[in-house]
Amino acid sequence: DSSNVEQLCLDFTLPGHPQIELKPGGSSINVTGENRAEYLRRVVEVTLVEAVAPQLDAFRSAFKELLPVETCRIWSEQELAFIIVGSSVQEDSFWNMEHLSSKIKAQHGYTADSRCFTDLLTFLAGLSPDNRRNFLMFATGAPTLPLGGFGGLKPPLTVVKKEAPPAPLTPDDFMPSVMTCANYLKLPEYSSFEILKQKLDLAMREGQCAFLLS
Q: Which residues pair with 58 in a beta bridge?
A: none
181 is catalytic: yes
Q: What is the arithmetic mean of pLDDT over 182-211?
A: 89
Among 43-47, 71-75, 149-153, 158-162, which is the least confidently predicted range? 71-75
Q: Under DSSP, is residue 208 helix (H, G, I), strand (E, B) or coil?
A: coil
Contact 40, 8 (CB under 8 A): no
pLDDT in tens, 83-141: 777 667 888 999 999 999 999 999 999 999 999 999 999 999 999 999 999 999 999 98
Q: What is the arithmetic mean of pLDDT over 70-86?
A: 80
Task: Please state, rounded to an integer, the average pLDDT across all residues of the chain.
Answer: 90
Give me the pLDDT at residue 70, please.
85
Give me the pLDDT at residue 54, please.
94
Give me the pLDDT at residue 6, please.
83
Buried b (16+ CB within 10 A) or exposed e, 95-112: beeebbeebbbbeebbee
Give me the pLDDT at residue 213, please.
52
Give me the pLDDT at residue 10, please.
92
Is residue 7's pLDDT more than 60? yes
Write down the catalytic residue from 9, 72, 181, 209. 181
Give me the pLDDT at residue 73, please.
86
Identify the burial level of 210 via C-beta atoms within 10 angstroms of its C-beta, where 0-12 means exposed, 13-18 middle and 19 or more buried.
exposed
Give me the pLDDT at residue 208, please.
64
Give me the pLDDT at residue 188, please.
96
Give me the pLDDT at residue 198, please.
96
pLDDT in tens, 137-155: 999 988 888 888 999 999 9
Is residue 209's pLDDT more than 80? no
Give me the pLDDT at residue 207, please.
72
Buried b (16+ CB within 10 A) or exposed e, 30-61: ebeeebeeebeebbeebeeeeeeeeeeeeeee
Is residue 65's pLDDT more than 60? yes
CA dihedral angle for residue 191, residue 197, residue 199, residue 202, rounded to 10 degrees: -170
